[in-house]
Structure 1
Amino acid sequence: MPFRLAKLLRRPDAADLPLATLQPKHPGKRLLVSLLVAMALPAIGVAVASLQARWQLQQRADKVVAQSIGLLDQMLGNADTSNNAVMQLAGGPCNDDTRQLLQRQVATVPFVRSVNLVEHDRLYCTSLLGSTDQAIGLEAYVDGRLRLRPGNATTPEVPILVVRQARDQRGALSVIDGRYLHRALQFASDYSELYLVVGPLYMDKFGQVHKAPVPPLPQARSSIASAHFPYTVVAGSPEGSIVRYLMDYDLALLVLIGSLGLLSGVICYRLLGRPASPRTQLQGALNAKQFEPFVQPIVNATDGRWSGVEVLMRWRLPGEGLIRPDLFIPMAEQTGLILPMTRDLMRQVAEALVPHATELPPHFHVGFNISAAHCNDPRLLDDCRDFLARFPPGSIELWLELTERQLIEPTEQTDLLFMQLDSIGVKVAIDDFGIGHASLNYLQRFKVDALKIDQSFIKRIGADTLSAHLLDTLVELATKLEIDLIAEGVETAAQRDYLRALHVRYLQGYFFGRPMPIGEFIHAHRHKRDTADHP
């Protein structure tokens, strides 16, 4: 019995429908994917620009700290030089000569505002006031060497940095004006902060001294401690600096990236709205196991028993339901995908029928529709061998049905193929016999075991005399050639009786059963068998 993959031209008006109409539409998913694409490019662009801005701010912070350290070390080195120059005066009298020597240091050494002498931790002589008596507050000096103050009695609003040098109970203090320190912190930009940290106090880039921890700098932080003096310079950017940097320097680039992202989203939306190529759709459906077998029973006209099945391929497309074979089988044949599709269908049929092989009548007929593409595929012979090998010997007859959607060109290769198929017991039938221009050529060239009478003849039974004469001729031809006949499209009892009277051996049509999933067929066959055995 022929196993049919598809029946073309049963509904001529459907033949012109493009395969693209089968593509399921998911506007929500399409819109979501397009939005993701539209946001992806700007997101990547912003991320890259942010990384670049962070890197630039970090580079700038490192550079600023290094420059500030260099300038501050120079200032404090000058103060140390002044201290060294007057250390021999410490402990001596604070007279005019001493004061003149101290003032000379102030006049000749850059950045030094005043030079002072200390004995027993008391300030007793200054370049500015001469003799004095003040406690220096030694505990306020970091490592006994450096003290940052927000101001002093002379300039209460101007910070100073005091550099101390001591020997025994005597020492010298050099004072650096905070305005010089302010200059050293001017390397900071609008996007970063810069702090001079001495012990518990720090000076910001505006020249203000604070007694508090350094404010957090979460972005592009850099910190370097001087190798010569006990202080640290800290630079970095507060929260939001990278955003401000991008808006100031990369706004045009961000606008361009956003526009490109929007354009990409629009293009993606339009592309997703276009149908995929037929081959892509069919290959995706094959990979997703969306093609499945439906079977229609073949009836023995003599006793009415089911003696075989014709299997029709159905495409169960999620969201669309079952797709008619006339919408995809022709494209499958044109693209060559009919070969793996048929192979997969044979596998599914075998897996479904093998467990129930003992329930089927002996030599139960199962057939596959083949086209020119199959006849040019050397694997067809192996596929048939594998299919038969899965069943107990004698339980199944495999039939191949020749169609005319693609003309089979007789060649030495096809002749050899049909000889090999015959040698392993595979039967051959001609589909839609009587209406195709190639049917007689197939009958002459190939060894044929059955003819399938096209349903157009069956429908006219009792309607006109010409159809009756044609049926009589077909039956006579099959009888002379000693081949079987299968009548398709039997829908009424009158048609059944007429064909039975002509001794047509097998019947098929809605009168006996519609195409059904193979699992449903197994249950229906079991019920029909049990009913026949127990009337």
Structure 2
Amino acid sequence: MLTRYLSSPKKTLILSLIYGLLAALLVASMHAWYQHANREQRYLTLMNDLSAYVETYFHELKATADTIQPLTASGCEEVASELTSRSAFHINVRAFLLVKDDVAYCSSATGAMRLPLRELVPGIDMDKEVDITLMQGTPKLPGKPAIAVWFRNPLLDARGVFTTLNVNLTPYLIYTSRQHDIAGVALIVDDKVLSTFAPNVLTTADLPDNQVGIRALSDYPVKLALYGDMWPADDVQLSVLLGLCVGILTTLASGYVLSTRSQPGREILSGIKRNQFSVVWQPVVESSGLRVTGVEALLRWQHPQAGAIPPDAFIGYAEAQDLIAPLTQHLFKLIAADAATLKSVLPPGAKMGVNIAPGHMHSPTFKDDVTRFVASLPPGYFQLVFEITERDMLQEKEAVSLFSWIHEQGIEIAIDDFGTGHSALIYLERFTLDFLKIDRGFINAIGTETVTSPVLDAVLTLASKLNMTTVAEGVETPEQAKWLRARGVNYLQGFLFSRPLPLRDFVLWQRNRIPPEA
């Protein structure tokens, strides 16, 4: 029963696996998100740098075009050499063309010409101050994609500067050569695309789906897009492997800790050592005047993780695992520590009930334990009553001499929870007992007209014939108390008077109690 509150082997295994799984998931998730955040930050930094680079390039290109704009007021023969000179040192420019009335009439590369610009570049909008489009090639380099840029003259109508740029003006080829985790970069104008995915101009429909970032230039009709994998397989595998290793280690460590520290037997001994056990006191009142004339010492266990563990759980387990002797020895020490305070609120000769298990009675240390316990109490003040439980059958031959020895020590004997164990009647027949404590199950039946009520009548009749003092446990209502008092029950104990209380609360309760009218 105690394993419901403390770890059993199966529970230890399950908890260890759960802890390991949680640790694995936590570590793997944290590592994966850390990798993801780092990668996301790298992509963002790249996008910022790339956008700034391209935008700066176009700003410099426009500055050059602005210096060329005054040449559009003159004929090609007059300005051809100057046009060639100004464009010669601008990186990646194939040619600057002077345009008048929608006709390109002068080229920095070939000199005088006459070609309608709309025929050369159908996608250019010459009404815009700046416009950009992508070309599959130029007349001189038909198989080489280019970027076409138009700058309208702000002072002279129908005039402007047109230029074509080599594709390698953009830094994406340089960048992808040193950034292995980038799948590609694309420069997008309207629905046309220059990218690292193909040597020719594509459309946006041809681009892959693994886009990780896109940025539009503020002053030019151009977008830059990055392509990659936010959750690459290598990162995921590394996170899974790390989580698996941590999960296995956590499972093994948890199993070791839980199995060594959470075994019920070890927990009981550890609880004794760490003062997790305490005593609560429940008053026992005499039926005639309802005065408190005794108490029962009850052991409680407040486990730091499992919380309050019911006595039936840990006492039954302690008996089964031969731990009841050290547990009762600890109970004796706790009672002795409270005895001096109890003496101040209880009358001389007050009965002090202490539960004794048969397993402890038959242990080699029992007599020494009892002798030390009696010596630790205020001399001659309390009347000890050993309440013998029925969980284990007493060994008859040894029990007779033990009961005799107990009586010689001035200690009375009660059979606890009479009627619930297999040996109750055998105890009455074979041993000399002083008290019969009636189990609360019989008391609860009072007034209910159940089949238990006649049994209670028979128990009281039996106790009377054996001249045994009776104590009714679990008295909770005035009706029950009245019924029991009318039938001659000697002592009453239960929540009607008080639940079991820690020492300090019991002292306050006793000092402030006003006995009810008899």
Give yes or no for the alignment of 1:463 onto 2:455.
Answer: no
Aligned with residue 335 of structure 1, among 321, 327, 336: 321
Give yes or no for the alignment of 1:359 onto 2:309.
Answer: no
Partner of 1:322: 308
Q: How far apart, in 2, do the equivalents of 1:532 and 1:294 lie?
A: 21
What's the offset of the Cα at 1:489?
1.1
Partner of 1:503: 488
Identity among equivalent pairs (%): 35
Comparing 290-299 with 498-507, greater Cα deviation is found at 290-299
2:2–2:264 Cα contact (<8 Å) kept? no
Partner of 1:20: 7
Matches within 5 A, 1:35-74: none
2:318–2:324 Cα contact (<8 Å) kept? yes
1:302–1:500 Cα contact (<8 Å) kept? yes
Q: What residue identity is the alignment partner of 2:490?
A: R
User: Given the two structures, how large is their TM-score scaled by the length of structure 1?
Assistant: 0.50
Gaps of 5+ in 1: 1-13, 36-258
Q: What residue identity is the alignment partner of 2:325?
A: L
Give yes or no for the alignment of 1:472 onto 2:457.
Answer: yes
Matches within 5 A, 1:118-517: 264=249, 266-272=251-257, 276-411=262-397, 413-464=398-449, 466-517=451-502
| Secondary structure, counterpart of 2:443 in structure 1 | helix
Q: How far apart, in 2, do the equivalents of 1:515 and 1:403 lie?
A: 19
1:404–1:438 Cα contact (<8 Å) kept? yes
| Secondary structure, counterpart of 1:406 in structure 2 | coil
Q: How far apart, in 1, do the equivalents of 2:345 and 2:375 lie?
A: 18
Gaps of 5+ in 2: 25-243
How far does the alpha carbon of each residue in 1:130-167 deviate from its partner, in whole angstroms, 9 at most, with x for none?
Answer: xxxxxxxxxxxxxxxxxxxxxxxxxxxxxxxxxxxxxx
Q: How far apart, in 2, do the equivalents of 1:462 and 1:532 lie?
A: 25
| Secondary structure, counterpart of 1:348 in structure 2 | helix
Task: Report the RMSD for the aligned CA atoms in angstroms.
Answer: 3.6
| Secondary structure, counterpart of 1:398 in structure 2 | strand
Partner of 1:58: none
User: Given the two structures, how large is their TM-score scaled by the length of structure 2?
Assistant: 0.51
| Secondary structure, counterpart of 1:359 in structure 2 | coil
Q: What residue identity is the alignment partner of 1:377?
A: S
Change (3 A) 1:380 1:288: same
Aligned length: 296
Comparing 517-526 with 380-389, greater Cα deviation is found at 380-389
What's the offset of the Cα at 1:462?
1.4
Partner of 2:173: none
Q: How far apart, in 2, do the equivalents of 1:282 and 1:422 lie?
A: 31
What's the offset of the Cα at 1:470?
2.5
**Structure 1 residue runs of 4+, over 4 Å off?**
259-266
Q: How far apart, in 2, do the equivalents of 1:394 and 1:270 lie?
A: 52
How far does the alpha carbon of each residue in 1:360-391 deviate from its partner, in whole angstroms, 9 at most, with x for none?
Answer: 11211112222221121242223323333333
What's the offset of the Cα at 1:402?
1.5
What's the offset of the Cα at 1:513?
0.6
